Structure 1
């Protein structure tokens, strides 16, 4: 498998936004459940525990990462089934992201927006999100999960090139 990177970078007043999209032939409510129900997130990202509501912090196990660590994820905003805003901090730094869903005629687009304070490390971060989003696609379709080796380091150059692109 040779996945093609889809991530795009947009400069903002506060940094940059890395945006990746995926499309599902499913209602937004169903895609939302794949993003928010612990037994479904376990299939492609990792299970979570805690009280899933705005302002709370849940624990998420990163089962597809080395040593399967548990991380604290704060739910900043939750507007089912359109928008989930999250933040977390780990040894790699702090992360702020949004998952935004829009549905038209039974087809739902998911936009993952990773709000970046710096573009440093984008060559590692971007392939990771591509991998996780394709894990979501595969888990929903009942297909075998992809291998991270198909994403990194092969997609690193694509994401590094985004940091040198000039906004028009």
Structure 2
């Protein structure tokens, strides 16, 4: 399978947003659980531990990265079942993420947003998010998990050449 990149860039008042979307044939509460419950996030991204509340910090083990590193994330907002905002700072810079859910006609849409300070490194970042979101889809559908080798370096140029669309 050759996955097709879906990411788009949007200019904002404060910078640039990388946006990826997915749609699920499931109730919004069930998709929310896939994004927030530790045993369910472990299936596609990694397990987490800590107190889940706005302003709190949690530790997440990125199970599908080399050496399965732990990272600390701050929960900036948690508005079940519609919005989860997280942030982190590490050696790669700052990460500000939002997962936004909408419900319509028995389907749930996911809008994944990374608020970027710079588009530098987007050729590496974008394929990673495509991979993880497709892992989310596979974990929910019970289908085979994708291989990162199908995303990177194949999608690097697509993301490296993206330009922001004005909002």
- TM-score range for the pair, normalised by the shorter chain length: over 0.9
2 CA distance for matches of 1:30 and 1:59?
A: 23
Shift of 1:90: 1.7
- Residue 152 of structure 1, CA deviation: 0.5
* 1:35 shift after superposition: 0.1
* Counterpart-to-counterpart distance in 2, 1:17 and 1:7: 10
CA RMSD of aligned residues (A): 1.1
Shift of 1:166: 6.4
2:161 is paired with a residue whose SS is helix
Deviations 1:62-121 (A, max 9, x none): 010011011001000000000000001122111001000000111000000000000000
1:167 Cα deviation after fit: 4.1
Instruction: Map 1:102-117 to 2 at 5 A.
Output: 102-117=102-117
SS of residue matched to 1:21: strand
Given the two structures, how large is their TM-score scaled by the length of structure 2? 0.97
Structure 1 unaligned regions, length at least 5: none
State the alpha-carbon separation in 1 of the partners of residues 19 and 127 from structure 2.
Answer: 12
1:125 aligns with 2:137: no
Helix, strand or coil: the match of 1:136?
helix
